[in-house]
Structure 1
Amino acid sequence: MRGVQRSGKADMADAALLIIDMLNRFDFEDARPLVQAAYRAANAVEGLRDQARAADVPVIYVNDNYGQWQSTPDQLIEMLIGDNPEGGEMARRLAPGEQDYFVIKPEFSGFYATNLPAILPRLGVSRLILTGVAADICVLFTAADAHMREYDLWVPADAVAGVSPERAAWAIDIMRDTLSAEVAATTDLSLADWIQRQSKD
């Protein structure tokens, strides 16, 4: 993972993509519905990640560490792949690259007790795309903290997953109606189009 630096394209320079808890053990009770929803969302997340990398938009993984407080990101990924039948395939598919950033979070929000509030200003970021799990917990808490810090938000409805469609829809409604987030699916809105549209506002 790289240090905090930007060489980016001017029209994309103030956006970042957050991938929240997609690198996951999925080993808790009644996880099956979330696993299935997360794998459906992974297509959209992967597509956004590839668009972001191509446009030099920072990709920031914001993740629990599952008690591995002394592990590096690479060691955490190795643990998820090596001993995790539910999440191992996801970890292989969505593993961060050398150009990406990795933030460990101890609680629900990606902003609470992490270095994310320090990284984003150094990258010149004022707009965030939030993806991942769970829509009604970690994504929602991160979106609320981002909104209070006056970040413009896009939470693509097809790039987040919840333990049930009802809870995911409830969270998406809150993020749209209360947190002023764009929630259009990636099939209806590309990363470049959202950034360009926000630039005109």
Structure 2
Amino acid sequence: MTRARSLKQTALPHSPEVLLLVDVINPLDFPTAQDILPTALQAAHAIAKLKNRCTRRGMSCIYANDNYGTWHSEFRDILAACRDLKGDRGEISRLLTPEPDDLVILKPQHSAFHSTPLQHLLTEMKAEKLTIVGLAADMCVMLTATDARMLGYEVWVPEDCTAAESPERKSNALQQLHGVFKCSIRRANRSEK
């Protein structure tokens, strides 16, 4: 016997500040994944600490995740597959598994704003400030942050909560976000290097 899912409407929380987690549930299955994996795990631990602080403060969290071309699946399928991975890949997904109150959207392109309901969600939530974390600093995080700035949001991209395939790529992306788009890039966890 199959239990019918509820279609009961749920209210969106009012959240002037939102933590946006970009592509953190990720199989890291591409030719140069080994280059990003060590720093991705470090970033995941920093993101987990930051997320804990944000939720204690009452901030809403939105996961904006790539669908990895799996057009017949949904986020739960992607999460389950990533959590089952061995080693650091699975650890990252287990560490950053969404909580029941977290919101999740799937994105087909690099920016979390492109062809998704993200802007609508943020408007309904009365969001003004976004903290954007995730993978990779020089691709999806950067493009999401630039779109957010162009839409008028105040943006913080904590440097210790992102990763890229090389330190140079990460540094260049963060400096571009800071210098050109006026995003804050200060660390989330100041006691760590």
TM-score under structure 1 normalisation?
A: 0.86
2:71 is aligned, of 61, 69, 76, to 69
In structure 2, relative to structure 1, the CA distance for the partners of 1:3 and 1:101 (3 Å cut) is farther
Equivalence for 2:6: none
Native 8 Å contact 1:33 1:163 kept in 2: yes
Q: Give the secondary structure class of the aligned counterpart of 1:22.
A: coil
1:5 and 2:7 are equivalent in the alignment: no
Please tell me whether the aligned partners of residues 20 and 61 of structure 2 are also in contact (alpha carbons under 8 angstroms).
yes
1:167 and 1:83 mapped to 2: Cα distance? 26
User: In structure 2, how many angstroms separate the alpha carbons of the residues matched to 1:117 and 1:63?
Assistant: 15
The Cα shift of 1:74 comes to: 1.8
Asked if structure 2 preserves the Cα contact closer than 8 Å seen for 1:25 and 1:86, the reply is: no
In 2: Cα distance, 1:4 partner to 1:29 partner: 41
| Higher deviation after alignment, 55-64 or 71-80 | 71-80
| Contact kept? 2:50, 2:189, Cα under 8 Å | no
Letter in 1 for 2:92: M
Q: Percent of counterpart pairs with the same letter?
A: 31
Deviation at 1:100, TM superposition (A): 0.1
Q: Secondary structure at the match of 1:45?
A: helix
* Separation of aligned partners in 2, 1:83 and 1:17: 25
| 1-structure distance, mates of 2:166, 2:48 | 21
* 2:5 corresponding residue in structure 1: none
Q: Which moved more, 1:123-132 or 1:83-92?
A: 83-92
In structure 2, the partner of 1:37 is 39
- State whether structure 2 residue 84 is matched by structure 1 residue 92: no
Moved more, 74-83 or 174-183: 74-83
Q: Please tell me the residue identity of whatever aligns with 2:64.
A: V
Which letter does structure 1 place at the counterpart of 2:56?
Answer: A
1:187 offset after TM fit, Å? 2.5
Q: Please give the secondary structure, in 2, of the residue aligned with 1:104.
A: strand
1:146 equivalent in structure 2: 148
**Aligned-partner residue type, residue 62 of structure 2:** I
TM-superposed CA distance for 1:97, in Å, is 1.0
Alignment of 1:28-177 (within 5 A): 28-83=30-85, 85-177=87-179
Unaligned runs of 5+ in 2: 1-8
Aligned residues: 183
The separation in 1 between residues aligned to 2:42 and 2:85, in whole angstroms, is 22
Q: Which has the higher helix share?
A: 1
- TM-score normalized by structure 2? 0.89
**Matched residue, 2:20:** 18
